[in-house]
Chain A
């Protein structure tokens, strides 16, 4: 029975074998002794039984010894394991303790650092806040200054624009009045030299007026002129031509009889004038500028073709942008390039569409689409105010027969207004209109004898007579008209006709080129006097070509 430290089969087997051997030897001795002692008769069974018993005994002892050995080994192993477990537990406890301490240390450290950081952060934040406040304050001051500056600039700009627009409006008014004066003078002076000079002045004034119009458009002033009636396309084109320097080089190809509504006519005319001016200025001084008018479903396309400079791609784009009218700023303006900006403003206002393209003539072509909604037919509107003429009442019944309104397509103007009321034509008295209404047939009223007819003849003759009498100063007739007030200060024809005593009013529409006295009656049949003198001061109408400026008191209806 050794105590092997290493449990295993071999030691247990050795214990088993040694125990078996010891027990076997002892048992064998014992059996042998017993056999030797025993009588011979029982010796053989005794030997057999003893041997068997000895074998059994040996096996039992050996087995017990091995079991004991095995139990001892197991106990020893158990003790060792228990010891290991205790050691491990101790170690674990130690480790846990260490970890706890370490953790605590770290926690403390962390807390400390956090505190430090918090403090430094707080300090930093306070510093930054202070700095930020200072910066903010500075910026706020800067902002206030800039706002102030901007406000001042805006006020300055508004004031400047307002002043400019005001001035432009006054210049427009002056130009318009001057043009009207010039027109009256052109009517008054028959001398061709004077007329040429007046036309020259007229042209210059029209160009100045266009410049004023441009400034007015750019500064957003109200359009200077408004036309009370639709303006025929031909007049639109002419009005545009008349405002540019090189109008003689413009060739118009138009058969359109459309008209532009009165409120938009000025804008269309002005835009066209700018386009024509561009075309004329950017083409050789001898080259012609061709204007074509084409009616399309969307309206009217006016194309202006020059044979001057070809615009490059960039220039075309820039021009398109300028006339698109989407920039309301004045910043891009230069002194010499007002035109397209003006066109852009007008295009936006009136819905015109302007586009540029290279022209087949070698230069640049501009297409301007005048939309349908500002177009109108001249026919219905023309009779109402068509071409007011200072015709006298004597010829009033007849003009329908030989009506020569400037728009040739107009029908004969009705003598009655829409409500059936007598319609007074410009330069006619109401009585004359009433007469014309009662005798709509002009020829009949002219030939039919009657008191009115007699008065008419008397008036004609009186005018004739008065014209004849001062035969010598007949040539000085226009000079007698000289002291007449300026047409711009004279009452308008409407006011004049409404005045109770029309004879006192001057006649702005007087034609200086009336025929010499004594020749006029040839141009019209009739004219036999049926009543005496004195009729001439009545408001009875007189012949349009018989009155002269020498007899303002007889000049009642011109």
Chain B
């Protein structure tokens, strides 16, 4: 960044989460947790919360939310925990894929590569 401070946002990350950087231990979110909004954004809401609710009208992964918000995943998890505690979003863990054997995946990969 040779023009520091010009293009980034003025708000620091700790102000977004009121200084919290880790979510609660029983936090249900990991990177691939699918998050679905349970309500619409309301006025006066923190803009990140509103953005998450808009974003998760359809199930969206935590990693994708973090990417869209341009926030580190840790911060995103804290925000999601807040929303989850308030009942505004719910988390859905993805179904385990039917095929988890790495050998099969490797074979598929090889096959695909040979296409």
Instruction: Output the nearest chain A residue to B61 by Cβ-Cβ distance.
Output: A523
Any B CB within 8 A of the CB of A265: yes
CB-contact partner of A248 in B1, B18, B43, under 8 A:
B18
B65 to chain A, nearest CB (A): 8
What distance in Å separates the Cβ of B73 from its nearest Cβ neighbour in chain A? 4
Q: Say whether B32 faces chain A, with CB atoms less than 8 Å apart.
A: yes
Chain A CB within 8 A of B67 CB: yes
A523-538 near B? 1/0 per residue, CB < 8 Å:
1100001001100000
Is B72 in contact with chain A by the CB < 8 A criterion? yes
Which A residues lie within 8 Å of B47 (CB)?
232, 234, 406-408
Q: Is A305 at the interface (CB under 8 A from chain B)?
A: no
B83 at the interface (CB under 8 A from A): no
Is B113 within 8 A of A465, CB to CB?
Answer: yes
With A406-B47, A515-B31, A523-B32 known as contacts, the answer to whether A202 contacts B10 (CB < 8 A) is no
In the assembled complex, the Cα of A545 lies from the Cα of B14 at a distance in Å of: 25
**Is A16 an interface position by the 8 A CB rule?**
no
| A-chain residues with CB within 8 Å of residue B2 when the two chains form the complex | 488-489, 491-492, 495
Q: Which chain A residues border B75 with CB–CB below 8 Å?
A: 186, 195
**Closest residue on chain B to residue A468 by CB atoms:** B109
Residues of A within 8 A of B70 (CB): 387, 389-390, 406, 509
Interchain CA distance A508-B102 in the complex, whole Å? 32
Which residues of chain B in 31-77 are interfacial with respect to chain A, using CB atoms and an 8 Å cutoff?
31-32, 41, 43-44, 46-48, 50-52, 54-55, 58, 60-61, 63-70, 72-75
Is A199 within 8 A of B21, CB to CB? yes
With an 8 A cutoff between CB atoms, is A196 at the interface? yes
Q: Does B13 sit at the interface, judged by CB under 8 A? A: yes
Considering only residues 225-279 of chain A, those with a C-beta below 8 Å from chain B are 225-228, 231-232, 234-236, 238-239, 241-242, 247-248, 253-255, 265-266, 269
> Which residues of the partner chain B approach A255 to less than 8 Å between Cβ atoms?
43-44
Check: A57 CB closer than 8 A to any chain B CB: no
A180 within 8 A of B: yes
Q: Are B3 and A492 in contact (CB under 8 A)?
A: yes
Q: CB distance B14 to A242 under 8 Å? A: yes
CB distance from B81 to the nearest CB of A (A): 12
Q: Distance in Å from the Cβ of B7 to the closest Cβ of chain A?
A: 6
Contact between chains at A235 and B1 (CB < 8 Å): no
Decide yes or no whether A544 CB sits under 8 A from chain B: yes
A404/B5 in contact, CB under 8 A: no
Q: Determine the distance from Cα of A406 to Cα of B66 in the docked complex, in whole angstroms.
A: 12
Q: Which of A254, A265, A520 contacts B44 (CB 8 A)?
A: A254
Q: Is B107 an interface residue (CB 8 A)?
A: no
Which residues in window 483-531 of A have CB below 8 A to B? 487-493, 495, 508-509, 511-516, 518-520, 522-524, 529
Question: How far, in Å, is A87 (CB) from chain B's closest CB?
Answer: 122
> A187 contacts the other chain (Cβ, under 8 Å)?
yes
Q: Which of B13, B15, B52, B74 is in CB contact (< 8 Å) with A241?
A: B15
B19 near A511: Cβ-Cβ < 8 Å: no
If the complex has contacts A190-B72, A192-B74, A402-B55, are A515 and B14 also in contact, measured as CB distance less than 8 A? no
Contacting residue for B63 out of A192, A238, A461, A523, CB 8 A? A523
Q: Is the CB of B11 within 8 A of A238?
A: yes
- Residue B9 interfacial (CB < 8 Å): yes
Contact partners of A389 in chain B: CB under 8 A:
67-68, 70
Determine how close the nearest CB of chain A comes to the CB of B115; give it in whole angstroms.
7
Are A180 and B1 in contact, with the CB atoms below 8 A? Answer: yes
Note all chain A residues with C-beta closer than 8 A to B67.
Answer: 389, 391, 511, 544-545
Q: For residue B72, which residues in chain A have a CB less than 8 angstroms away from its CB?
A: 186-187, 189-190, 195, 511-513
Task: Please determine whether A490 and B1 come into contact, CB atoms closer than 8 angstroms.
Answer: yes
A183 interface residue (CB < 8 Å to B): yes
Min distance, Cβ A251 to any Cβ of chain B, angstroms: 10
Contact among A176, A202, A391 with B14 in the assembled complex (CB-CB below 8 Å): A202
A50–chain B nearest beta-carbon distance, Å = 166
A198 to chain B, nearest CB (A): 8
Interface contact A516-B4, CB-CB below 8 Å = no
Contacts of B6 in A (CB 8 A): 225-228
Q: Evaluate whether A242 and B63 lie within 8 angstroms (CB atoms) in the complex, with A187-B72, A192-B22, A533-B113 already known.
A: no
Closest to A234 in B: B47
CB pair A488–B4 under 8 Å, yes or no, is yes
Please report the C-alpha to C-alpha distance between residue A469 and residue B54 in the assembled complex, in whole angstroms.
Answer: 36
Residue B105 lies at the interface, judged by CB distance under 8 Å to chain A: yes
> A337-392: which have CB < 8 Å to B?
385, 387-391
Give the docked Cα–Cα distance between A190 and B23 (Å): 13
The 4 A-B residue pairs with the shortest CB-CB distance, nearest first, are: A239-B10, A238-B11, A513-B73, A242-B12
Residues in chain A within 8 A of chain B (CB atoms): 173, 176-177, 179-180, 183-184, 186-187, 189-190, 192, 195-196, 199, 202-203, 206, 224-228, 231-232, 234-236, 238-239, 241-242, 247-248, 253-255, 265-266, 269, 385, 387-391, 399, 402, 404-408, 461, 465, 468, 471, 487-493, 495, 508-509, 511-516, 518-520, 522-524, 529, 532-533, 544-545
| Contacts A/B (CB < 8 Å), 8 sampled | A196-B21, A199-B19, A242-B14, A408-B50, A488-B4, A512-B72, A518-B105, A520-B63
